[in-house]
Structure 1
Amino acid sequence: MLDLDADVLHEFHREMVTWVGSLTPDRPRIVDLGAGTGAGALALARHLPHAEVVAVDVSADMLQQLRHRAHATGAVDRIRTVQADLDQTWPRLGPADLVWASGSLHHLADPARSLTQAFAILRPGGAVLITEFDSFPRFLPDPAGTALEERCHTALADLRAEAGLHMSEDWGAHLREAGFTVEAERRFDIALRAPLPDAAGRYAQVCLQRMRHGLEGCLRANDLAALDALAAGAPSRDDLIVRTTRTVWVARRPETGCPGEHAAPARTS
């Protein structure tokens, strides 16, 4: 799903990578937290040809996929993979010029602690770029489909809250508590209409299927059946609209100074 997200929302992702280029030196060392199969790491390596990227994820399988893709794209010499649980004490990842965290921090048990560890691995003056979202994208244009999506998203929001996921957090406040100086917060309201990228139908299908997987027992049987039918037919539709919201925070570690008074010091080894 993350790879399809990068394909369909390529303009947004290109803007983020371009933004990174304006935040870092000519030969930056970048740490990608929660790299997954590497959509972000590969884009950073591709668009910043002198960058070194350290891709960190808890999943060995995802990191193996990332290495295969790095070989295929000729970026393997500039992407290093590290298997690590970011909820534990981090291995040595720094020093870094930028920490990239795209859609990953809300999964962590203690994001505030993780931001303190991110502060510790950054060089003075280094930056962090966080991208987060509130929910799965929405796709259906008709009133019945829109209403069904809304019921699905409401139920999923309740499940995320019960699971303790850190959605809708004030990441700017967390960054300041960790010692960062927040430079920017931008909300992107994205609405893509036809003609859509070729991958849009498959992207809609995968997102709807992921929603369906989490909603068993939470919605009425007729809603679940309707969601199954919509997911099955999504790749052949020409009336889909890709609607999603992303919020991006950029902050820096000051050239001098320590983490905020309420933040615990990080261990990096």
Structure 2
Amino acid sequence: MLDLDAEVLRPLLTETTALLEELAGDRPPRRILDLGSGTGAGTFALLQRFPEAESVAVDASATMLHRLQEKAHELGPADRAHTVQADLDGEWPPLGTFDLVWASASLHHLTDPDRGLGEVFSVLRPGGLLAVLELDSLPGFLPYDLGFGRPGFEERCRAVLAERTGHDVPHLGADWGPHLSRAGFAVKVERVFDFELAPPLPPAAGRYAEATLRRGRAHLYDRLDPDDQAVLDALLEEGGPHHVLRRSDLTVRTTRKAWVAERP
């Protein structure tokens, strides 16, 4: 799903890395830290934008880092993409000093994000940049009326997920500007990216919708009423008449927020 997210929302990576290049000016980063790197969408976008740089990707998941290394060999920059497995809620491993830190959809997972930002401050050189990208909720894909089941299915699912994530992931949707300021950073840019992709969509968008629904299913299914459970089952039934990939009216609707801050 992370790979599909990066493919479908490619403009977000393009615009944000271009902004970082502009802010870096005549001092392009040589060492980049990707916090909570996942499969490396940010890592590879940054290595493409800054061809003289090397990166260190940190993630708690060995599976994610293995996929990142595979992609590094497929795409070419294997000698510039390094990985470190670490739980950022625990003791940070020795990482060295960096010119740029990238944290995409990772800060909200930290138990104590202010402590994490303090660690970032300590590994970032003076004048270095921190880019934070975050989301408020999962993307939307479905029309209000699916043609079966009760209208408003996706809105009800999103409300259930918002209630659950508000309890399990309390920092999701936070305003990171005050957190950055408390950690000693000077916030340079705050930007909101609103995406709405209309049909006809590329094949990756349909797969992205399906992957998102499958991931969300585990978190919301037991909180849906039987009618909505049946709708979700039908949308995810391989080969079924209502399978999500059969729909021609899918859209992609999401909002992402970005903060770029500097260590004085």
State the TM-score, normalized to the length of structure 2.
0.92
Query: Per-residue CA shift, 1:169-189, capped at 9, x if unaligned?
Result: 120000000000011111111
Measure, in 1, the Cα distance between the counterparts of 2:29 and 2:252: 35
> Which of 190, 204, 215 lines up with 1:199 in the alignment?
204
Distance in 1, Cα, partners of 2:29 & 2:171: 33
Segments of 5+ residues of structure 1 without an aligned counterpart are 255-269
2:3 equivalent in structure 1: 3
CA distance in 2, matches of 1:139, 1:81: 33
The 5 Å alignment of 1:81-96 reads 81-96=83-98
Letter in 2 for 1:190: F
Deviations 1:147-166 (A, max 9, x none): 11111111111111222431
RMSD of aligned residue pairs (Cα, Å): 1.5
Q: Name the CA distance, whole Å, in 2 between partners of 1:162 and 1:122.
A: 32
Identity %: 52
**Counterparts of 1:253 and 1:89, CA distance in 2:** 22
Residue 123 of structure 1 aligns with an amino acid whose one-letter code is: R
Q: Which residue number in structure 2 is paired with residue 177 of structure 1?
A: 182
C-alpha displacement at 1:93, in angstroms?
A: 1.9
Alpha-carbon distance, 1:31 to partner: 0.3
In the alignment, the residues of structure 2 paired with residue 48 and residue 225 of structure 1 have an alpha-carbon distance, to the nearest angstrom, of 48
The 4+ residue runs of structure 1 with deviation greater than 3 A are 142-146
* 1:146 Cα deviation after fit: 6.7
Q: Determine which of 226, 237, 240 is the counterpart of 2:250.
A: 240
Structure 2 contact 137–173 (Cα < 8 Å) conserved = no
Deviation at 1:68, TM superposition (A): 1.0
Which residue number in structure 2 is paired with residue 216 of structure 1? Answer: 221
Against the structure 1 CA distance between its residues 117 and 27, is the aligned structure 2 distance closer, same or farther, given a 3 Å change threshold? closer
Is 234-243 or 172-181 further displaced after alignment? 234-243
Measured at CA, do residues 142 and 155 of structure 1 come closer, stay the same or move farther in structure 2, by a change above 3 Å? closer
**CA–CA separation in structure 2 for the residues paired with 1:47 and 1:140:** 34
CA deviation vs aligned residue, 1:32-88 (integer Å, no higher than 9, x gap): 000011111122112321111110001111111111110111111101101111011
Deviations 1:209-246 (A, max 9, x none): 11111113211121122022223422232211100000
TM-score (norm 1): 0.90
Structure 2 unpaired stretches of 5+: 238-242
| Contact 1:29 1:97 (8 Å CA) reproduced | yes
Q: Give the corresponding residue for 2:66.
A: 64
Count of residues in correspondence between the two structures = 254
Does residue 138 of structure 2 align to residue 136 of structure 1? Answer: yes
Question: SS at the partner of 2:82?
Answer: strand
For the residue of structure 2 that corresponds to 1:86, the secondary structure is coil
Distance, in Å, in 2 between the alignment partners of 1:44 and 1:234 is 33
Tell me, yes or no, if the aligned pair for 1:28 and 1:97 is still in contact at 8 Å.
Answer: yes
Contact map agreement 2:144 2:154 (CA 8 A) in 1 = no
Q: In the alignment, what sits opposite 1:121?
A: 123
